[in-house]
């Protein structure tokens, strides 16, 4: 490679991938090992003291998993990353060094349903809490921040409705209140958006989705921008004061911009154990090699299908932000210039019944609770993921009874459309 910063597709294939030092293997081997032999007792002591970087035990680090961390960090423009056992694990790992009992995170109301659940109830068991506000309203975000707030959290393209978050605005608010911004970039991927460019401190991913891209892995990643000053406010003692969980090390003083990454490995993975396995990392590395190509096709297909659906008399509305009718259309050029993603909702005339019939009549689409696959996927949130909510709450969450969520795959667009056409006929009794 030359001195020039390599392009996205070059990094997607080469970042983190050096020929194997032992065998010269071109592809990154799956290091299916739990432990690593120390050269001698002095080497072991240096590794445990973080005086030398190396491998100890695969709950902490593993060469295959490390290559994936390096690759995702490179694609997101971060200084380091930590791979985790799932996207949900990555969210806990992102919050873990920042929070303590009594602390809160200010989060967008428009989040993946599982994240709303994790933040509403489960994190309370750690003494943490979340305050949900409308992230289109800068004043509402600022008003929700109090002395115990330790982070601001949102998604680039919010689930399920294809809402584009104004990261420019949210990044400015986070800088103003002096708090780290955590952005879940799962549905955009670094191909469409790099949240660190908008001021994000940490970027989290469910690698389960587009990064792997074929529905074979459950995994997550936290990318560290390395840019946040953990020492300035006195609010982040785990990172910027002697850490009792690691023999009194002040991570920020000792490791500077790598404080979060090292803490997440040395304390987070060590004690929480939400580690990615080498096989999973391998599949995700293979997936990322074609991320740029796949996202290009995902977005092109989403445009073709969204435009076709919007013109269909059996359809009530399409939320893909690339459509001129979307209230978020003007954000596409600023936030996700290469496209508005491939996840959106479709309103179907005939309500709940028609939606259920549509889902049951599709043949190419898979009816699953997943997104970001090469395959086109569909789910009816009101009868599945958002079943527990009452109708008003479903509408507010973008999951009204007459709405299905679709994740457009990379099949031939005409086949996706043909499948939707026959299923809409079956669901509504009308042809186009
Ligand atoms: C799927 C998903 C998650 C959770 O990831 P898992 O890998 O399923 O734990 C978090 N955020 C978003 C936006 C997701 O789509």
Out of 95, 107, 111, 112, give the residue to mutate to test ligand 1, the one with the largest number of ligand atoms within 8 Å of its CB: 112
Look up the CATH architecture of domain 8-287.
3-Layer(aba) Sandwich (3.40)
Residue nearest to atom 11 of ligand 1 (CA): 112
Reported as type and span, the H/E element at residue 80 is strand 80-84
- CATH 3.90.1150.10 segments of the chain: 292-428
Alpha carbon 40 to chain centroid distance?
40
pLDDT at residue 192, as a whole number = 98
Please tell me if the CB atom of residue 373 comes closer than 6 angstroms to any atom of ligand 1: no
Across the chain, which distance is largest between two alpha carbons, in Å?
76
pLDDT of residue 1: 47
Distance CA 306, CA 319 (A): 8
Alpha carbons within 13 A on the beta-carbon side of 117:
8
User: Which residues are within 8 A (CB) of 263 and not within 5 positions of it... i.e. 6 or more apart?
Assistant: 97, 238, 239, 243, 246, 251
State the pairing for strand pair 403-407/343-348.
antiparallel
Q: What is the pTM of this model?
A: 0.96
Residues 6 or more apart whose Cβ sits within 8 Å of residue 261: 79, 80, 81, 82, 224, 226
Residues 66 and 27 sit within 8 Å (Cβ to Cβ): no
Handedness of CA 96, 98, 103, 105 (dihedral sign): negative
Q: Where in the chain is the domain with CATH 3.40.640.10?
A: 8-287
Find residue 107's DSSP bridge partners. Answer: 132, 153
- Cα-based angle 326, 330, 331 (whole degrees, multiple of 5): 100
pLDDT value for 5 = 87
Contact (CB, 8 A) for 76 and 223: yes
**pLDDT tens for residues 319-367?**
999 999 999 999 999 999 999 999 999 999 999 999 999 999 999 999 9
Give CATH for domain 292-428: 3.90.1150.10
Q: How far apart are CA 241 and CA 55, in angstroms?
A: 26
Q: Token digits for 27? A: 């592809």
Please give the number of the atom of ligand 1 that sits closest to the Cα of 89. 9
Ligand 1 pocket check: which of 85, 87, 164 to mutate, most ligand atoms within 8 Å of Cβ? 87
What helix, strand, coil percent values describe the chain, rounded to 5?
Answer: 40, 15, 45
pLDDT tens across 73-125, in order? 999 999 999 999 999 999 999 999 999 999 999 999 999 888 999 999 999 99
Taking the C-alpha atoms of residue 378 and residue 366, their distance in angstroms, rounded to an integer, is 6
- Name residues of the chain where pLDDT drops below 50: 1
155 CB less than 6 Å from ligand 1?
yes
DSSP state of 249: B
Cβ of 189 less than 6 Å from ligand 1:
no
Nearest Cα residue to 232 out of 262, 201, 204: 201
Residue recorded with tokens 């997550």 = 220
Q: State the Cα–Cα distance between residues 282 and 222, nearest whole angstrom.
A: 17
pLDDT given for residue 252 in this prediction: 97
């Amino acid at each position: 490679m030359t001195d020039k910063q390599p392009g996205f597709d070059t990094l997607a294939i080469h970042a983190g991938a050096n020929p194997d030092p032992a065998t010269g293997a071109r592809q990154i081997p799956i290091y299916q090992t739990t432990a690593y032999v120390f050269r001698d007792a002095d080497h072991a002591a240096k590794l445990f003291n973080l005086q030398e970087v190396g491998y100890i035990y695969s709950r902490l680090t593993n060469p295959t998993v490390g290559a994936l961390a390096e690759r995702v960090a490179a694609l997101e423009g971060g200084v380091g990353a930590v791979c985790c056992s799932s996207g949900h694990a990555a969210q806990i790992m992102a919050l873990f060094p920042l929070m303590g009992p009594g602390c809160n995170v200010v989060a967008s109301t428009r989040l993946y349903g599982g994240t709303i659940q994790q933040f509403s109830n489960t994190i309370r068991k750690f003494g943490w809490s979340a305050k949900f506000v409308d992230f289109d309203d800068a004043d509402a975000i600022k008003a929700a921040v109090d002395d115990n707030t330790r982070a601001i959290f949102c998604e680039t393209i919010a689930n399920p409705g294809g809402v584009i978050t104004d990261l420019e605005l949210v990044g400015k608010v986070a800088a103003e209140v002096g708090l780290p911004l955590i952005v879940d970039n799962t549905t955009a991927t670094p191909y469409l958006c790099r949240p660190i460019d908008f001021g994000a401190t940490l970027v989290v991913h469910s690698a389960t989705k587009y990064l792997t891209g074929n529905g074979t892995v459950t995994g997550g990643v936290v990318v560290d921008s390395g840019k946040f000053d953990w020492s300035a406010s006195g609010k982040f003692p785990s990172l910027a004061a002697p850490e009792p969980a690691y023999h009194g090390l002040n991570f920020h003083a000792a490791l500077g911009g790598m404080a979060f990454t090292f803490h997440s490995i040395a304390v987070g993975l060590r004690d929480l154990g939400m580690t990615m396995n080498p096989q999973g990392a391998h599949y995700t590395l293979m997936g990322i090699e074609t991320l740029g190509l796949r996202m290009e096709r995902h977005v092109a297909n989403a445009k073709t299908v969204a435009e076709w659906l919007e013109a269909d008399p059996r359809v009530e509305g399409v939320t893909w932000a690339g459509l001129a009718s979307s209230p978020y259309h003007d954000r596409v050029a600023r936030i996700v210039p290469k496209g508005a993603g491939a996840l959106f909702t479709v309103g179907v005339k005939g309500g709940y019944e028609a939606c259920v019939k549509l889902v049951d009549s599709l043949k190419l689409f898979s009816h699953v609770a997943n997104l970001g696959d090469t395959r086109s996927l569909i789910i009816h949130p009101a009868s599945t993921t958002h079943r527990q909510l009452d109708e008003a709450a479903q509408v507010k969450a973008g999951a009204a009874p007459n709405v299905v969520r679709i994740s457009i795959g990379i099949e031939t667009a005409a086949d996706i459309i043909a499948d939707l056409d026959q299923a809409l006929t079956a669901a509504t009794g009308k042809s186009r």
